[in-house]
């Protein structure tokens, strides 16, 4: 059964909610050892909760077999632990991050997508990382020289999804759409779909 079509304002709100949640998740897995010691802004738990509820509500009646083994239905999720994590001091998060991910690539819990790639060949992994970097570059995003990170780090992957969702949200919420908006929307949607499929 197809989901009902959203009105333009509902579509903009949905995209904005997706961006808020994706941005919070990207920030949660960002590597604090990269040197990007930017001051963290306080997390608006009400905003994050509202965004989470907006996204989870359509899944409230989903049958249990519609989700994967080990997954929690979105309606049962709680964004409060995510907000608490993001509200911790950088030092506390840094210590926890090193315990989970290690100072070198952890085989138990790597934050890098290519570590889960089925091929163990270095060339295949490099190509996979180059593909992700190509998506970033196509949208004018360059690595931060102050905080170098592999293109397949979970925070960059999720952060790029948040960036594309923000672009779509801005287009959807424009009060006076530009003639080029339809083309930009189509390109951004295609990129988002391909990026999620491939990464």
R_g (Cα) of the chain, nearest Å = 18
Does residue 28 form part of some domain? yes
Which residues make Cβ contacts (< 8 Å) with residue 160, sequence separation at least 6?
132, 135, 136, 139, 141, 195
Contact 167, 184 (CB under 8 A): yes
Does residue 184 form part of some domain? yes
Nearest to 86 by CA among 45, 55, 147, 50: 45
- How much is the pLDDT for 39? 52
- How much is the pLDDT for 36? 52
Does residue 94 form part of some domain? yes
Does residue 62 form part of some domain? no
Does residue 178 form part of some domain? yes
- How much is the pLDDT for 176? 66
Q: Structural domain tally of the chain?
A: 1
What string of pLDDT tens digits covers the 199 residues of the chain?
455 677 878 889 999 999 999 999 998 998 766 655 555 566 788 899 999 999 998 888 888 788 888 888 888 889 999 988 988 888 888 889 888 887 777 778 889 998 888 877 888 889 999 999 999 999 999 888 887 889 999 999 999 999 999 999 999 888 767 767 889 999 999 999 999 999 9
CATH number of the domain within which 101 lies: 1.10.3480
- How much is the pLDDT for 7? 82
Task: Compute how many other C-beta atoms are within 10 angstroms of the C-beta atom of residue 25.
Answer: 19
Nearest to 128 by CA among 111, 142, 143, 113: 113
| Vertex 50 angle, CA 90 and 13, to 5° | 110
Does residue 2 form part of some domain? no
Does residue 38 form part of some domain? no
DSSP letter for each residue of 65-118 = GGS-TTPPPGGG--SHHHHHHHHS-HHHHHHHHHHHHTTTT-SSS-SBGGGG-S
Maximum C-alpha span of the chain: 50
Q: Which domain holds residue 25?
A: 8-32+45-55+75-198
Tokens representing residue 162 in the block = 């948040």
Does residue 40 form part of some domain? no
* Alpha helical stretches, state H, the chain: 8-29, 45-56, 80-87, 90-101, 122-138, 154-172, 181-198
- How much is the pLDDT for 1? 43
- How much is the pLDDT for 44? 81
Tokens representing residue 37 in the block = 């010691």
């Amino acid at each position: 059964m197809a989901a009902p079509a959203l009105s333009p304002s509902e579509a903009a709100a949905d995209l904005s909610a997706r961006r808020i949640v994706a941005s919070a998740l990207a920030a949660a897995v960002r590597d604090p050892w990269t040197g990007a010691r930017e001051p963290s802004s306080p997390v608006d738990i009400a905003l994050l909760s509202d965004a989470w509820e907006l996204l989870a509500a359509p899944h409230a009646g989903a049958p249990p077999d519609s989700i994967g083994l080990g997954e929690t239905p979105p309606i049962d999720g709680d964004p409060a632990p995510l907000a608490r994590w993001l509200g911790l001091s950088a030092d506390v998060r840094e210590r926890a991050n090193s315990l989970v991910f290690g100072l070198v690539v952890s085989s138990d819990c790597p934050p890098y997508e290519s570590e889960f790639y089925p091929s163990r060949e270095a060339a295949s992994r490099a190509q996979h990382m180059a593909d992700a970097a190509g998506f970033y570059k196509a949208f004018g995003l360059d690595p931060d020289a102050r905080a170098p990170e592999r293109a397949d780090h979970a925070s960059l992957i999720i952060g790029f999804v948040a960036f594309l969702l923000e672009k779509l949200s801005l287009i959807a919420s424009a009060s006076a759409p530009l003639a080029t908006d339809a083309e930009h929307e189509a390109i951004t949607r295609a990129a988002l779909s391909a990026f999620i499929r491939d990464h």
